Chain A
Amino acid sequence: MFKKFVPKDDVSGKSKVKSSVQRGIRAKILEQYPALNPYIEELIPKKDPLVLVKCHDRLNVVMVNDQLLFFNHHDGPYYPTLQLLHKYPDIMPKVQVDRGAIKFVLSGANIMCPGLTSKGARLDTDLPVDTPVAVLAEGKEHALALGELKMSTSDIKSINKGVGVELVHFINDGLWHAKIEA
């Protein structure tokens, strides 16, 4: 989604949202990432204005104090930006790819099932289809991408063919480099 994301061209507008909307967004994020509960006051303080950066294709990025924190697409689930995820690594379910896949993920490829089932890869938790997941890599500490499961984890294991995780955001993509000024 962010492979070719240039803030200058793709941002169509940004606006401070009403405090009621801000509460709504905050509640939605907390509902999705309950582990963030102790830290939400640091991330999205009630007092600070929340800026919604609207981009092409109904993509919204939540920005507080010039920091990009979350984004969502078509009113879908909120995803944290990878910088945020690196800070709070355990807020979302994880999958791990093998070493051979890293290169391709870093150029934005969707993750194929074999990359998730081979030796070195891990699928520890059972997750249903369409779950947002963090993508870790063999031998690395930090997540390298975010994606959405296109099959449930049990299907990935049994079918082992085709796209398993659709890539949403990865390090070194447009959003990673994006700096948007309020």
Chain B
Amino acid sequence: MSDSEQHADDAQPVWPPTRVLPDILYCGVCTLPIEYCEFAGTVSKCQKWLRNKDQALFAKTWPDIDLSQKLEETTIDEGMTKEQKKAEAKAAQEAKKKANQRVVIKRIERSKRKCVIEVSGLELFGVDLKKAAKLFATKFATGASVTKNPQGTDDIVVQGDVQDDIYDLVVETWEQVPEEQIELTEGKKK
């Protein structure tokens, strides 16, 4: 730290040239600088990540942890404070919640031979709905729009009978959407 070099002369502070640190390692799990992982609430995951990434840095950041231990054993339960445990439990719960999220692709009949497809739940996986609608529209050469549904969330409505095609496209385009969490249903006219 170069704090002590800072000039105390506050009438006209002379700025020392700043240091430049081009590559700061941010944790891949909690996105914080690695030295703040301990406050992120996903400590054991962060530790695992860093350990796989850079052993030397791991030793520097977590000097208390014995490197000779096997990777699986590093879920240091004893070392964790109550609060850290609480935070991890919270994270686990969130992950569970995430597993329950569904993308629903619903076929709604308009008249005898015409229908629209309503895709809901994509936003839960961090998909930009407007972009998705545009993608559907160009892929299937149909109209696709983002509309508000009665629950107040946004849906994509695609014109034309393209239910199965949408399923394939969703699986292909957004890897973060697990296939088993996509649901195909049929519905009546609203």
| Pairwise interchain contact A127-B10, C-beta atoms closer than 8 A | yes
Which residues of chain A have C-beta atoms less than 8 A from B6's C-beta? 93-94, 124-125
User: Could you mark each residue 1-41 of chain B with 1 if its beta carbon is under 8 Å from any beta carbon of chain A, else 0?
Assistant: 11110111010000111111110100000111101100110
| Pairwise interchain contact B15-A172, C-beta atoms closer than 8 A | no
Q: How far is the CA of A138 from the CA of B62 in the complex (A)?
A: 16
| Pairwise interchain contact B24-A90, C-beta atoms closer than 8 A | no
A141 contacts B by Cβ under 8 Å: yes
Asked whether A124 and B33 contact (CB < 8 A) given A35-B16, A38-B17, the answer is no
User: What are some 8 contacts across the A-B interface (CB < 8 A)?
Assistant: A39-B20, A86-B33, A94-B6, A102-B36, A106-B39, A127-B10, A141-B33, A171-B36
Number of interface residues of A (CB under 8 A): 32
| Pairwise interchain contact B19-A172, C-beta atoms closer than 8 A | no
B56 to chain A, nearest CB (A): 16
Which residues of chain A have C-beta atoms less than 8 A from B18's C-beta? 35-36, 39, 88-91
A window 104-149: CB within 8 A of B: 106, 122, 124-128, 136, 140-142, 144
Pick the contact of A144 from B2, B7, B19, B36 — CB < 8 Å? B36
A47 contacts B by Cβ under 8 Å: no
| Pairwise interchain contact A172-B20, C-beta atoms closer than 8 A | no
Q: How far is the CA of A38 from the CA of B15 in the complex (A)?
A: 12
Pick the contact of B21 from A86, A122, A172 — CB < 8 Å? A86
Which residues of chain B have C-beta atoms less than 8 A from A2's C-beta? none
Which residues of chain A have C-beta atoms less than 8 A from B8's C-beta? 124-126
Interface residues of A (CB under 8 A from B): 34-36, 38-39, 86-91, 93-94, 96, 102-103, 106, 122, 124-128, 136, 140-142, 144, 171-172, 176-177
| Pairwise interchain contact A124-B21, C-beta atoms closer than 8 A | no
Q: How far is the CA of A152 from the CA of B75 in the complex (A)?
A: 45
Asked whether A102 and B39 contact (CB < 8 A) given A86-B21, A124-B6, the answer is yes
| Pairwise interchain contact B31-A172, C-beta atoms closer than 8 A | yes
Which residues of chain A have C-beta atoms less than 8 A from B1's C-beta? 136, 141
Q: How far is the CA of A35 from the CA of B6 in the complex (A)?
A: 12
| Pairwise interchain contact A142-B15, C-beta atoms closer than 8 A | no
**Residue of A86, A127, A171, A177 ringed by the most chain B CB atoms within 10 A:** A171
Which residues of chain B have C-beta atoms less than 8 A from A177's C-beta? 31
Which residues of chain B have C-beta atoms less than 8 A from A171's C-beta? 32-33, 36
| Pairwise interchain contact B17-A87, C-beta atoms closer than 8 A | no
